Each structure stands twice: as C-alpha cells, then as structure tokens.
A and B are shown apart, each in its own frame.
Chain A
Amino acid sequence: MTTKPPKARTAQPHHTGVYKADSIKDVAEMLNINISDAIATALASDVEYRVHQVVEEAAKFMRHGRRTTMTTSDIEQALRVLNIEPLYGHTPHNPPTFRRAAPVYGHLSNNAASSGSANAGAVYFVEDEEIDFDRVLREEKIVMPKGVSWTAHWLAVEGVQPLIPENPPPVPREIDLHPPETAKPNGVVAAPSAPPLAMINGTGIANDIKKPQQQQQSQHLVKQVLSRELQLYYTRLTSSLLPPSSDFAKRTAALASLRSDAGLQALLPYLIRWVGEGVVGALKEGVQTENDGKVLEILMEVIGAILDNNTLFVEPYLHQLLPPLLSTLLHSSLPRSHSTQLRTISSQTLSGLLTKHSTTYPSLSPRIMKTLLLALISPGKSKGTREGAIRGLIGVGKEAVRQGLVESGGAKVVGIEVQQEMGNVVEDEALKKAVMDALHVLRPPSDSEMSDSLNLSDEADLQVATRLHDVLGEYFALYVGRDAAWAKAIIGGNINDGLDLVGQEN
C-alpha cells in the first residue's frame, strides 16, 4: 500500500505530521487521479487539519462523557455537531482492533534514517476476523451482560480509610519525601456504629479494621501483619485487662469488645499467645499470690470471651487454647482464695468450648477426658489437681462424670486420699465439695428434708449400698447413702450389672 518510489519521499525532508502526502497519493491512485507532489502535500496538510478539528471536538464529548479513552461514539457525535455525515458501522460496543503490519525494511531503511522517525512506513489496518459459521452456530449461547448494579461502602470514616476489600490496599509512601504531610495522625477508630443513614445497605460496611493511608513505622513486633489500628487496639485491650487494676468498668468494656466485635481475626493468634504466656507466667512461680489468681481469672474470662465471639474462627487455634485452660484447671497449687472459683470458671469455659466445637472436632472430648482421667486417678497428684480434674469432668458432661468418678473409680481414689491425709482441711473440703457437685450432676439432689437414706434392712437397698461402697469407696458412699434416690441414680446406669455382680458373688 505505502510502497512508493523513494524519490517522492526525499523531496520533502520534513514530516508534515501524521498524515503523509503518500497517503493522499494512494487515495488518488485508487480513484485513478494523478496529482502532483505539491498538491498532495497541501492536501495532506489540510486533511490533517480537518482530522484534528474532528478529534478536538470528539475530545469534548469524551471529557463530558467522563472517560479517558476516546471511543467511536465520540467521533460520531463530533461529526454530527460539525454537520458531517457520521461514519457508519463503528460501534463502541465492538471497538475495532488495529493491527500493525511490519514495515517492509528493504527500501524504507534509507528514508527512516533520513527522516529520523522510527515508525516511518508502519501500516495499521483494521483486523477483519474470519467468522466460522459452523463454530458460531454450534457455540452455546451468548452470555447476556449483567445489568447495572451498585454497591456502597465506606471510603473513609472520619477521615480514615478502612481496610476493607472495597478499598485499595494502602500505598506506603516514602517517609522522607514529605514528612510533615505523610505523618498525618491517624485515629484510633473504635468499631463504627451502624451507618448513619438508614439507606446504606449491608455490603462492606460493618468492618472495623482500619487502615491509615500512610502506614508508619511501628516499633511493634507484628508490624508487617497488623494494621496500626489493630496494633493499637491490641495494646489498649491488653493494657486495660492486665495488670488487674481496680478499674472494673474498663475491664468489662474490654471484655465486651472482645466478646462481640468483628474484625479481630487478625489479632487472634496474638491474643492466644498472650493468654498462654500470661497463664504460664502466673503459674510458673512456685508460690501463687493473690495477684496471680486475679490474673488467671481475667485470662480465663478472656478465653471465654474469645470463644463467645461468633465472628472469630477459633478452631485452628484450639490446640493452643486448651493448654492454658487445662493448666489452670489442673494446676496443683492455685492461690487459695481463688482456686475453687478459677477451677469452676475454667471448667465452664471448657464446657462451652466442647459444646461448640466437639461436633466439628469429634476427637476433642475423648482426648480431654483422657487427660482429666489421668489427673484424677494416677497416683501422686495433688488434691488441687484432683479437684480440677473433677471440675473438668463436670464441664465435659454427665457421662464424663459417670465414667470418671464412678466407672473408673475416681471417687474411690479421692475418698481414700481425703480420709488418709488430714493435713489440709480447706483443700479437703474443696475436693469433697467438687466430688459432691460432680455426683449431683448425675442426679439433681432432692430436697434434703424429704430424702430418705438407704434402708440397709431392705434387700434392694442393701445391694445398692454395697455397690455404692464398691464404686465410690467408703467415704463417699457414706454421703451418698443418705439419699436413696441419689444413690440409685449414681449406680443407676450399672445397677443391673451391679446386681448381677452381687448375684454372682452370692
């Protein structure tokens, strides 16, 4: 197409712009008109001027169309207002793709060098795709474009851009470029309350992960992973919980936030580690003080709050969460003033954890059971540990209590220990109470006035009493024996085989 004798080109050393005289000549040749170089040059200049006029007009339509790419429709509108017949067949739906044909280097190299322009001789053409009817007819169906839809999200909340999927990730700027500007203060943002207007729909709003636009250096260890807000939240949270101050309201607020706020998932590993370290720290030292008890109490509450929070995905962290929980539960020497309460709280937490997660994690309760049984039965454990194990069993459930105290003979072991060592009355009492509580789980105690003790003269009752003695040991059998219904309930599950047993003995 553009193959022209090189002479014509060398005649005009300067380019007249995009539109070349050669193109005019080509068009003229197509129409069988012969025109001179001078006319072609002049015409090319004029064509370019006119094209620019149209483009300038089209640029207005592009600008008002709020676009940055000019489309064929802009050109069409421009031609319309310039009172020129539009070019038909070009739709913005299907923009033509221009292909660049490789220039023929053979005889153009001289010119390209002389004119100093790199793209001399480049030819662009509209690609005319061949359509295979067979294929088109066989093709499934045309996908209809989705209709226009809208979404709403917070671009900024009080001047801080939240880090939500709808917003782009923040671009860290060089700090030393504009230090006063970039070091804009970014607020601690509490979880945003409900959107101020009722019309905002739910998409992408409720999220309290805040991201400053300029992430600053952070002295904290976790700076790469956590946003500044989360770090701040973390420090605020932990500092308001520990050390246990008298500021009860603050602590309650912190726990409430932990219990119900969304968006804390990223913090979860750090919180769990913090709890774990706290528990280890409190239990490590030989003698537990009052303060340690308080610390442990709060940490247990934290675990409870984490488990209560429905927006957190805790399961992957259960294996990290259980050690502090069980440590507290089974530790031999908890501070006296808190021991019962602590063990109760932790057993309740354990209970909650199990009801929530044992369905998705079926091996969880057997494993915990095993640990607790070991603590309950194996010799050489302290009374505190035994108590904790019993409390833990209560937390695990009725069946666990039956299995642990009754079937595995836990109560017997405990009873013997209580009878043997008369050293620490308080501990004994606590242990005793724990056992009684556990046994009560098997059957709620009837009113004490109404209860009648086992009538040893009665054959059946005697059997029960014997059985009770076998199972619970002398010590607790005595207590339980005072309430016949209770005793029966405890034996209940294995009363029949118990009877069989008695029968065999007889």
Chain B
Amino acid sequence: MSGNTPPTASRSPTATSPSQTLESASNGADIDRLVLQYLRAKGHNVAEKAFLSEIEGSTADARNARQDTINAEELAKTLAVFVHKPSRPGENALKETASVLSELSSMSNTPALQTLISNISSVGSEEILAEDPLDKPEGFRELVAWVEGSLDMYRPEFRPILFPIFCHFYLDLIQAGRKDAALQFFATFSPQLEAAHSATLQRLSTLLLPAHVQNDELAQRFRDEKYFIRISRSGFGLLLGWLTEGIGGEAMGAGYGFYGEKGKRGRVAVMQVVNNHLRFDVTSSTSASLPPNTWEESTGLTSSLIPHANGAQSKIYNPQAFNLSKGDLKLGPAPIPEDLKAETERVAREKAMLEGIPASQYDISLARPPAPSGVLVPTEADMPPLPPNFKTVDVEREVSAIRDARKRIRLEPSTLNGLDPTSPQASAIRARALPSICAYTLHDVPEGAPCCTFSQDTSLMAAGFSESYIRLWSLKGEKLRGMRSDFSANSIRDSASLRKIKEKKGSTTRKLIGHSGPVYSVDFDPLSGSAAPPKYLLSASADGTSRLWSMDTMTNLVAFRGHENPVWDVKWSPLGTYFATASRDRTARLWSTDRISCLRIYAGHLGDVDCVRFHPNSLYLATGSSDWTARLWDVQKGSCVRVFIGHQGPISNLAISPDGRYLASAGEDLAINLWDIGSGKRIKKMTGHTASIYSLAFSAESSLLMSGGADWTVRCWDVKSAGGPPNKRDATTPSSNSPVSHKFGEEEVIESTSDLISTFPTKRTPIVNVQFTPRNLCLVGGIYQSPETR
C-alpha cells in the first residue's frame, strides 16, 4: 500500500523533521550525509531533493523554533533505544532497559542530547529509518494478547498500559502521514478501550493530519508529558521480560510468536513508546491489595495537572506527594468575632426567656459545634478582611442559626447499616435516616434553565434562563416589589420614607433582565442566613460578566467584567462580601462586591473551570475543571494547595461538607468521588447515576449526600459507609474482574455502589439544583421536559 502513495505525500514530513532536528545539533553534517545516502538508496528522489533544499535554505523562523526543540528531544528519545542496543548486544535485557530508563530520566536538555547523537552508529540510524508502519498494529496486537493472557492477579495492573501505547501508535501513524494505516489501527483496537476512555478516543479520532497532531493540545500533551502508570514490582519485571524477550506472550505455536522477526519489531515499537512516553510508578504493594479504582488516581498525563511546587523546582508526578508537600490545612470552622459572639449570646438568652425554654437549648455551641480534634482551627488573623463592625443582621443570622440547629431534622443514615428490612422498627429508623424532599418543578421552559437556587430562608427562588434573563419567584406568595425610579434622593430620610417609594403594584414573580447570554449560575447572598430574605443575588452568564442584583430595588447594581469568556459558575463566600467565579478562560477569580476588578486570579487548570465552591470557613476555594481534576486553592495567597485526580471526565459539580472535611465531586464519568480534603486522598467512588450529575448537596450533619441529575432522579448517598460494589448473594464469585472474557473497562450497565441509600425518580424532570435548608429539609429544583418538545 505504501508503494501506491506518492513519496512526497508520505515521506516528506518524516524526512524534513529529522533534518530540522539535526541542524540544531552541532555535528549534524554527518547525519545529513547519512540521511541523504539512505534516501538515495531507497530511491526517494523527490524527498531527497526536498531534503537538500531544506538543508540549504533553512532559516528557522520564530514559529518553527518551538517545534524544532520538541523534535530534537523526541528524536533523541527515539534514538536512545538503539544507541545502546548495538553497543551491548547479548542477553542482559533487563539491565539494559533499566539503564535506558535511567538515561532518559536524567536527560532533559541539549548537552545530553548531543552526547546521545554522537553515539549514533550507522546501524542505529539505518534501523530508525527502515521503520515499517505495520510494526505498530502487530506490536499492539501482541501486547493485547500478552495482557489478556497474563495471570488474573496481574491483568488489572497491565491493562492501563494499553491505552497510552495505543494513543502513541495512533499519533505516530498520523504524524507519519499514514492516515489509512492509522484509521485501520484505530478501528481494530479502539473498541476494547472504548468504555474507559471514550472521551479521549473521540478526540483522537478527529486528528487525521500531521498538522492536527502538532496543533492539538491533547496530542501535544501526550507527546510532551510522561504518562504515569502505577505498577507493582513483580508486574514491572514481567513487563520488561516480555518487552525484551517476548516471554509470556502468545501460547506456544500460535502465530509467529516471539521467534518471528515481525513479532520482535512489534515489541521494539512498543518498547519505544514505553521508554519515551511512559513512566512507571513502581510500588512494592501487590496488585491485589490495591482498591480497584486506584489506577484512576495515578494513571495518566498527571504531571502537568499537578502544579509546580515552587517555581522551577523539580516536578512532582504524584498528586499525593504534591498534596503532602503543601502541609496541613486549617479546616476548622471560622472563628466568630468576640463582640458578635457576646451580642448573639445575649439575644439568644432573651429569646430563650421569651419562648420559655432553658437557655441551654439556645446555646451558641449548637450552631457552631467545636471542631473535632485533629483539625486546625483558623484564627481571626487567618480570615480575609471583613467589615470591622457587626450589624443587626449578623446577630439575627447567628441567632436563627442556633434556632435552626435546635429544630433541625436529624438525619443519620448510619443507623441503616445492618438493618433488617423486615424488622418492625425498620420503617421508623428509615424515616429518621432519610430526608424529606420537596421538589419544585418549572413548567413551560422551552429553551431550558441552566440553574436554579433557593434562598436560605426559602422565601425566594431564582432561576437563570437560556434566554438571558433571570426570574425570581416568591415562594411565600408575597409580592415582589421594586422601587420607583421617579423620586428625589432628598426626600429619603428614614426607613418609612424609603418604604414609600416602593412600587405600588407587584406580582409574585419578577424578571431580571441584563445579561446578553444564557445565565449559567445564580446565587443568593448568605449574609442574612435564614433570618431574613436575602438582599442580593449574583448571576453568571455566557456574556462573560457576572452581575450583582439588589433584591430591594430589583435592579442590576454592578456588572463585574474581567473574564473574556463565558462564566460558568458564581458562588458567594459563606461570610458574604466576597465571591468567586469560574470561567471558560481556565481561571477562577475572587471578587469583592465593592470593587469592579477582581482581587485574585486562580490559574493553573488545563481546561475550563466549571464550578467553584467555598470552604465553609472561607479560607479555601475548590474548583472543578474540564481537565478532569479538582483543586483546592488558598483564597488569600492564590496558590493551589490540593489537587484531586481521579475523575475520568470533566467535573460538573462540587460540594464541600458543612464540617469542612470532605469534598464531593461529580464528573461526566457519572461518578461521584468523595475526597478527604485534609489528606487529598480519595475516600470512595460512588456510582449509580445514569446521566450527567448536575447538583450535589451535603446535609447539615455532613452524613448524607444528595445528588440530582439529567437522569431525572434524586439520589441519596451515605457519606460514612464504606461503599464499594454491592454485595452479591453468591459470595463465591470475587467482586471484580473475575470473568476471563471481561475485557478491560468494559461495563455496559452502571452498577450502583452499596452506599446508594435511595433513589427518587421524578417525572421527566432533570434536577438542576439540590440543596438543604438549614433545618435539613431537602429542596430540589428541576425543569419539566414535556415529551412533545423537539
């Protein structure tokens, strides 16, 4: 087939890139001569001419400069394997590969490159250039056969190796201009990787020309970064054995086996990728002792996802190492100013007297339980600057928080554990463990409402619409009245005169118009808590602005500009004044309501920042991104303090537990991950949703997690239970990867984990918002989709 294609089309890219490479090297002339000789010998006349003209008229302009360096490095990597091979022929394979690895890890700059190039013998270069594209499919086929034929205990460990090698082979073939071969390769092998990596595969399949590979971000990340794989020591030894000797490959007598020349060349192709683009995190633990989903956390192109520790220090490749290096976090509750505390206690005592209940039931410690031991509590000095004096509304908020804590419905899902469903007490216990859910359904929304929220006192509901407006509803049936615009400022002296200029008429719903793109997020200010209706509303829109709306005047007060791109999410800080936005421009930003420019920019994500959440004590900000990671930032310093790697898709939503210790993240991989913020480790993965998850919420005790999504359900998860796959009746079959026919990552049905307590389906209503009131009633909001639309 390669004979049919004209030499210019297929060969020139490969021919020119080494030429550029070698120019940059000091002793490039020798190589040039070698390449020319080779081309002449093979009869590629056109390529030879192109090569010559390239050498003569080479002016490396600014645009090519970057590519040059990349290619130089790559070539060096490509060569590395062959440099050592002829120099040390013989059977000492493991040592050899190890030395290559060590060589490569030390090599990152040009001096090392030069020494490598100078070592090239004529045999080596000959072999590079005689590369056959058919090696790669053959090599991959053998690798798959080897992985699937390996022992059960090693198979889960080996499977992650397939994917990066597949990607690199595909990119190699595309880059070499062999589109047909690449497509065939893709069609042959992608189905078995489809389940676990569909998003990446989809992206790769669109790359069809060498130019695409050069420009595409994902392809470049594959090229530039190491792909990390965690593997046990014995597993690593087996892999090396196969790579060098073909040990443990196909069954005896099948195919060409490892004796064939073709098989060897295939393995060499695999080895090339392994050497150049993979990095093995060799652990001493055996594969059996690791939980099944660990590979998600430690496998992939993680190095760029993890921020640099401090400037140009050595890169950290392990998210856990990074999280560890950042030290402890202050996750305790925010301190309450002394004067506010005293005033709150005084008012609370009065309230208790008035209502005729013991003052102990109106104690401030009800609403603010002391931090559990082992959690660092921030001091007032740690807090971001806040208004110096407290206001009446602050006291009211604190007092009503105490009352809410006293009247709260206690939800204890842990009592369900080991409960006999048929026992007479079961129903009572269940009622105590599970929440009541009140569903608010929007009807007749033709183009969708991306967001919806309830105020903390449940007096107001706001929804942002695709048609660029926000609509408010009074849930108490009160009239929403703004202020008239025809008044003179002089006439206003006190609250009574202020009340006079309120609009006479009003309805229970109100439209807020101002944005010029779909409104993606709305949030009521938390300052008045459950004591009074909120005063402000924030909204974020595709027009790149976030806006502040007054609930007194029902008008837009400020448009915060700064993001040039759609703003996906906006959230108030728990103490008011500050808020954070997340945008398509890959940053999250911190703002304060009294300034029109942002205070901090949190940059570092490699994809859109899709959602932001504040830690309950306002010291930290969690962001979820399309780069499949979530991060935790120090709000004031603006630095990243935790990175959470493990999702296999963009992160759609986050929630931080009220006790400040857990982060729940929902991803497009339809999983909810629960993270321990303090250590940055994943606690468990919860699956069960069958479509995108739109919203997450913790109950006030942090014991229950509610989620709602596009599968028209609200689900209820036990935070404290261990989770994991559901217990099967027949204990004889081990839970995972027991059937031999079960291919890697192949899971058609989403199995719900055992910590899914309950599922509440709705009628054709995707749930866009789930939240708890301060008294632990669950409110959900969704948009009814009538079956006729579209």
Residues of chain A having any CB pair with chain B under 8 Å: 12-17, 38, 41-42, 45-46, 48-49, 52-53, 56, 60-61, 63-69, 71, 73, 77, 81, 92-93, 95, 145-161, 166-168, 171, 178-181, 183-189, 195-201, 213
A-B interface, 7 closest residue pairs, ranked by CB to CB distance from nearest: A159-B434, A185-B426, A187-B427, A45-B208, A158-B431, A52-B206, A199-B475
Q: Which of A155, A179, A195 contacts B437 (CB 8 A)?
A: A155
| A38, A53, A81, A185 interface centre (most CB from chain B within 10 Å) | A185
CA distance A157 to B428 in the complex (A): 12
B439 close to A153 (CB less than 8 A): yes
A187 close to B422 (CB less than 8 A): no
CA distance A198 to B461 in the complex (A): 14
- A46-B209 in contact given A66-B768, A168-B762, A185-B422 (Cβ < 8 Å): yes
Q: Which of A77, A95, A186, A198 contacts B427 (CB 8 A)?
A: A186
- A184-B438 in contact given A66-B766, A73-B447, A167-B762 (Cβ < 8 Å): no
| Interface presence of B650 (CB below 8 A) | yes
CA distance A179 to B420 in the complex (A): 12
| Interface presence of B147 (CB below 8 A) | no
A48 close to B208 (CB less than 8 A): yes
B568 close to A64 (CB less than 8 A): yes
| Interface presence of B471 (CB below 8 A) | yes
A60 close to B477 (CB less than 8 A): no
Kindly list chain A residues whose C-beta atoms are within 8 Å of the C-beta of B727.
180
New contact pairs (9) apart from A60-B626, A77-B566, CB-CB < 8 Å: A64-B610, A151-B441, A156-B778, A158-B431, A159-B431, A159-B433, A186-B427, A197-B777, A200-B438
CA distance A38 to B179 in the complex (A): 12
Interface string of B567-583 (1 = CB under 8 A from A): 01000000000000000
Give A166's nearest chain B residue, CB to CB.
Answer: B763
B447 close to A63 (CB less than 8 A): no
A66 close to B694 (CB less than 8 A): yes
- A159-B422 in contact given A49-B208, A64-B520, A199-B459 (Cβ < 8 Å): no
| B459, B518, B752 interface centre (most CB from chain A within 10 Å) | B518
Min C-beta distance of B475 to chain A, whole Å: 4
- A157-B436 in contact given A148-B443, A187-B431, A197-B777 (Cβ < 8 Å): yes
- A38-B209 in contact given A159-B430, A181-B726 (Cβ < 8 Å): no
Kindly list chain A residues whose C-beta atoms are within 8 Å of the C-beta of B783.
66
Kindly list chain B residues whose C-beta atoms are within 8 Å of the C-beta of A151.
440-441, 443
| Interface presence of B132 (CB below 8 A) | no
Kindly list chain A residues whose C-beta atoms are within 8 Å of the C-beta of B476.
198-199
- A81-B473 in contact given A68-B710, A160-B431 (Cβ < 8 Å): no
Min C-beta distance of A70 to chain B, whole Å: 11
CA distance A92 to B468 in the complex (A): 14
B441 close to A66 (CB less than 8 A): no
| Interface presence of B444 (CB below 8 A) | yes
| Interface presence of B385 (CB below 8 A) | no
A48 close to B726 (CB less than 8 A): no
B542 close to A61 (CB less than 8 A): yes
| Interface presence of B12 (CB below 8 A) | no
A16 close to B431 (CB less than 8 A): no
Interface size, chain B (Cβ < 8 Å): 97
Kindly list chain B residues whose C-beta atoms are within 8 Å of the C-beta of A198.
476
CA distance A49 to B423 in the complex (A): 61
| Interface presence of B255 (CB below 8 A) | no
Give A55's nearest chain B residue, CB to CB.
Answer: B206
CA distance A60 to B584 in the complex (A): 9
- Of B134-142, B338-346, B448-456, the one with at least 4 CB within 8 A of chain A: B448-456
A49 close to B461 (CB less than 8 A): no
CA distance A15 to B187 in the complex (A): 10
Min C-beta distance of A439 to chain B, whole Å: 56
CA distance A49 to B205 in the complex (A): 9
- A167-B763 in contact given A63-B650, A155-B437 (Cβ < 8 Å): yes
Interface string of B1-37 (1 = CB under 8 A from A): 0000010010000000000000000000000000000
Kindly list chain A residues whose C-beta atoms are within 8 Å of the C-beta of B790.
69, 95
- Of B46-54, B392-400, B595-603, B753-761, the one with at least 4 CB within 8 A of chain A: B753-761
- A150-B441 in contact given A73-B466, A159-B430, A199-B458 (Cβ < 8 Å): yes
CA distance A180 to B727 in the complex (A): 8
CA distance A146 to B436 in the complex (A): 31
A65 close to B440 (CB less than 8 A): no
B438 close to A183 (CB less than 8 A): no
Give A77's nearest chain B residue, CB to CB.
Answer: B542
- A154-B444 in contact given A12-B180, A77-B566, A197-B777 (Cβ < 8 Å): no
Give B542's nearest chain A residue, CB to CB.
Answer: A77
A17 close to B205 (CB less than 8 A): yes
| Interface presence of B506 (CB below 8 A) | no
A65 close to B466 (CB less than 8 A): yes
| Interface presence of B293 (CB below 8 A) | no
CA distance A65 to B212 in the complex (A): 29
A186 close to B430 (CB less than 8 A): yes
Q: 8 Å CB contacts to A: which residues of B636-659?
A: 650, 652
CA distance A187 to B445 in the complex (A): 36
Q: Which of B208, B475, B710 contacts A66 (CB 8 A)?
A: B710
A156 close to B626 (CB less than 8 A): no
| Interface presence of B492 (CB below 8 A) | no
CA distance A149 to B476 in the complex (A): 15
- A183-B421 in contact given A14-B180, A150-B461, A155-B437 (Cβ < 8 Å): yes
Min C-beta distance of B362 to chain A, whole Å: 21
| Interface presence of B707 (CB below 8 A) | no
- A156-B180 in contact given A68-B692, A199-B476 (Cβ < 8 Å): no
Min C-beta distance of B564 to chain A, whole Å: 9
- A185-B419 in contact given A64-B450, A155-B760, A161-B760 (Cβ < 8 Å): yes
CA distance A189 to B428 in the complex (A): 9
CA distance A460 to B762 in the complex (A): 81
B763 close to A168 (CB less than 8 A): yes
B438 close to A195 (CB less than 8 A): yes
Give B447's nearest chain A residue, CB to CB.
Answer: A92
18 of the cross-chain contacts (CB-CB < 8 Å) are: A42-B209, A45-B179, A53-B206, A65-B450, A65-B466, A68-B691, A71-B447, A77-B517, A92-B466, A153-B441, A155-B760, A167-B763, A185-B427, A186-B427, A195-B438, A196-B775, A197-B773, A213-B760
A56 close to B205 (CB less than 8 A): no
Give A195's nearest chain B residue, CB to CB.
Answer: B438
| Interface presence of B337 (CB below 8 A) | no
A159 close to B421 (CB less than 8 A): no
CA distance A153 to B714 in the complex (A): 14
CA distance A467 to B422 in the complex (A): 74
Min C-beta distance of A79 to chain B, whole Å: 13
CA distance A6 to B730 in the complex (A): 59
- A156-B610 in contact given A66-B710, A179-B729, A199-B458 (Cβ < 8 Å): no
Kindly list chain A residues whose C-beta atoms are within 8 Å of the C-beta of B763.
166-168
| Interface presence of B321 (CB below 8 A) | no
Kindly list chain B residues whose C-beta atoms are within 8 Å of the C-beta of A156.
434-437, 714, 758, 760, 778
Give A205's nearest chain B residue, CB to CB.
Answer: B438
Give B692's nearest chain A residue, CB to CB.
Answer: A63
CA distance A198 to B775 in the complex (A): 14
CA distance A92 to B466 in the complex (A): 10
B184 close to A14 (CB less than 8 A): yes
Give B781's nearest chain A residue, CB to CB.
Answer: A150
| Interface presence of B207 (CB below 8 A) | yes
B445 close to A148 (CB less than 8 A): yes
Min C-beta distance of A13 to chain B, whole Å: 7
Min C-beta distance of B605 to chain A, whole Å: 14
Give B608's nearest chain A residue, CB to CB.
Answer: A60
| B209, B446, B752 interface centre (most CB from chain A within 10 Å) | B209
B444 close to A184 (CB less than 8 A): no
| Interface presence of B780 (CB below 8 A) | yes
CA distance A195 to B775 in the complex (A): 13
CA distance A71 to B446 in the complex (A): 12
- A65-B518 in contact given A149-B443, A151-B443, A154-B438 (Cβ < 8 Å): yes
Q: Which of A49, A81, A95, A147 contacts B584 (CB 8 A)?
A: A81
